[in-house]
Amino acid sequence: MKILVTGGAGYIGSHTAVELLNAAHDVVVLDNYCNSSAVALERVAKIVADETGRPAQLTAVEGDIRDRAALDTLFSEHDIDGVVHFAGLKAVGESVAKPLEYYENNVGGSITLCQAMQAAGVFNLVFSSSATVYGEPPEMPIREDFPIGVPTNPYGRSKLMVEEVLQDLARSNERWSIALLRYFNPAGAHVSGLIGEDPQGIPNNLVPYISQVAIGARKRLSVFGGDYPTTDGTGVRDYIHVVDLAKGHLSALNWMQGNSGVGIWNLGTGLGYSVLDMVRGLEKASAREVPYEIVDRRPGDIAECWADASKAAAELGWKAELGLDQMMADTWRWQSMNPDGYKKQGQG
């Protein structure tokens, strides 16, 4: 199949592009590089050529999902079978300061993309949603039939809004086949060390922060809260290896071959690890110390969050296979091979 991957130069998109190309799909990436580098796509092509022994069928288009004319041109030039839609803004704190940018990119951009898809007769869409749509769930693990919660920030609300737009869209025309994938906490990197998470400025998320402390780029980790009702008092999350997550998108595309309407799946491991588990995991992988101090809780954080991943296993035949040790070893390989991320090559 020929798959359009919006935001394909980003962290999850680049890993998904590798898996799509390895599975012999053609990939067209549309990205405006606002939070990524074109170098990531050169690395994707190298990984695929190394792993498969054939050149990657990868086309990179620089452009914006909010640009309807650019989308129309793309769909007229490429015979697209389905879209995996990652493009959007994702920093929770920034979304509070810049709500209009978040709604414009994430909600407006997704609507423009769907309009262009509809006009081009493309009705298969995989959307990157988030466990944030569950708000503060009543119990763990989180199942897909739990009530939608109240996200605490504009980023989370933008994901929920897009989910609702897509549900309405599927009701309007039975040709649509839409997968809403609710990610838990993506972490890790490709085993080659060539692609990984490359945050701009101070990382918002735990794993990139810890790895920057281990490499010496930051002094110490601030652990947000040591008094949660969890095993060691720190927050617990379901960290999923980004390569497992990427493979979940292929499973969703396969589901679309025989199904229409909306399918909703958690993509998580079903396991919860605390902040201190993650610190110890990276210390082990890097053989370096990760100094930390416990500080106040971060507003909007919940104590714990992990998935019931059985629906994806039953319906998509997908489950996470890579454990914490592999995730941390891959994180460290990426960090130590690319201490400045993709900027080392003077780009991005």
Residues that bind ligand NAD (CB under 6 A): 6-7, 9-13, 30-36, 64-66, 86-90, 105, 109, 128, 130, 183, 186, 205
Runs of H (alpha helix) within the chain = 11-22, 39-52, 68-77, 92-97, 99-102, 109-120, 154-172, 206-215, 242-256, 275-286, 310-316, 324-337
Name every residue whose Cβ is closer than 8 Å to that of residue 256 and which is 6 or more positions away in sequence.
Answer: 82, 124, 126, 177, 179
Q: What is the number of other CB atoms lying within 10 angstroms of the CB of residue 291? A: 11
Q: Pick what 222 binds: ligand UFG, ligand NAD, none; C-beta below 5 to 8 Å, kind-dependent.
A: ligand UFG
Catalytically annotated residue among 155, 239, 273, 342: 155
Cβ proximity to ligand NAD, 26 vs 31, nearer residue = 31
Establish whether 228 is a catalytic residue: no
**C-beta of residue 247 within 8 angstroms of C-beta of residue 267:** no
Residue nearest to ligand NAD as judged by C-beta position: 10
Nearest distance from C-beta of residue 113 to ligand NAD, angstroms: 9
Contact letters for ligand UFG, residues 262-301 (x by CB under 6 A): -------------x----------------------x--x
223 binds ligand UFG (CB under 6 A): yes
SS3 300: coil
User: Residue 119 Cβ, how far from ligand UFG at the closest point, in Å?
Assistant: 31
Choosing from 105, 177, 185, 212, the residue that interacts with ligand UFG (CB under 6 A) is 185
The C-alpha atoms of residue 54 and residue 57 are separated, in whole angstroms, by 9
Residue closest to ligand UFG (Cβ):
235
**Residue 103 C-beta: closest distance to ligand UFG, Å:** 16
Q: Are 122 and 82 in contact (CB under 8 A)?
A: yes
Q: Are strands 236-237 and 273-274 parallel, antiparallel or unpaired?
A: antiparallel
Please tell me the count of residues contacting ligand UFG according to CB under 6 A.
20
Residue 237's binding partner, choosing from ligand UFG, ligand NAD, none, with beta-carbon cut-off 5 to 8 A by kind? ligand UFG
What's the CA gap between 169 and 54, in Å, rounded? Answer: 38
Residue among 93 and 233 whose Cβ is closer to ligand NAD: 93
Phi, psi of 303 (to 5 degrees): -65, -50
263 binds, among ligand UFG, ligand NAD, none (CB under 5 to 8 A by kind): none
Which of 23, 224, 226, 283 touches ligand UFG (CB under 6 A)?
A: 224
Contact 281, 54 (CB under 8 A): no
Q: Which residues 6+ apart lie within 8 Å of 107 measured at CB?
A: 158, 161, 162, 165
Which residues are part of the catalytic machinery? 155
